[in-house]
Chain A
Amino acid sequence: DIQMTQSPSSLSASVGDRVTITCRASQSISSYLNWYQQKPGKAPKLLIYAASSLQSGVPSRFSGSGSGTDFTLTISSLQPEDFATYYCQQSYSTPDTFGPGTKVDIK
């Protein structure tokens, strides 16, 4: 199975900050990397697919980049509704695997 890691595991930030989250795969996954946002008590929500494609309806302050084994999710200007946990997921091969998550909370 492909192992996914994320860093940091948590971070504190202020509204308006630029936030970057890193995801690393245990082997090359090309661009088959997706990002999700999850708020407490809710299902994950797809933000970015295929490493850099913005899901319909997702604000443009979210962006993704990377290929191979290293990927980043960037929030250009953190908004109050962005405080949540973020997960990466590889869709290169079965079984699909997720990273452990990065919790973004208020500084």
Chain B
Amino acid sequence: QVQLQQSGPGLVKPSQTLSLTCAISGDSVSSNSAAWNWIRQSPSRGLEWLGRTYYRSKWYNDYAVSVKSRITINPDTSKNQFSLQLNSVTPEDTAVYYCARGAGIAVAGTGYFDYWGQGTLVTVSS
């Protein structure tokens, strides 16, 4: 059974960096058949996919254009986890942030999200 456990602060000041980590159990961040995603949810923007990291003989990243200049998603193979860094945050980045496993690449295009972390409410405020 795959489990994703999120950690990180719930309050970030404007202009600072939002940092979250997602620890994986029951699968590997280096899996050749999965992708590791960050998704956020807010009343104003709904569910918004932010980006993913995945390993296919080498590491790849995909990012949403809306955050591409500010986002970094990194795998940590030694701890079997992956992280999200979002720079220069504003109150518009206030949301519940989820990590999720992307699977089923062979049958479902970029994949479906079959396992999710518990969610972290991140508030951007001074």
Binding site for B on A (CB under 8 A): 1, 29-30, 32, 34, 36, 42-46, 49-50, 53, 55, 87, 89-98, 100-101
Contact = CB atoms under 8 A, between A and B. Distances in A.
A91 B111 contact: yes
Given A94-B62, A95-B49, A49 B107 contact: yes
Which of B37, B49, B65 gathers most chain A CB within 10 Å?
B49
Interface of B: 37, 46-49, 62, 64-65, 98, 100, 104, 107-114, 116-119
Given A36-B113, A93-B110, 11 more contacts: A30-B109, A32-B109, A34-B113, A42-B119, A43-B118, A44-B98, A50-B104, A89-B113, A90-B109, A96-B49, A98-B49
Nearest to A101: B46
Contacts of B118: 43
A10 B112 CA distance: 24
B116 A91 contact: no
Contacts of B48: 98
Q: At the interface, is chain A mostly helix, strand, loop or mixed?
A: loop
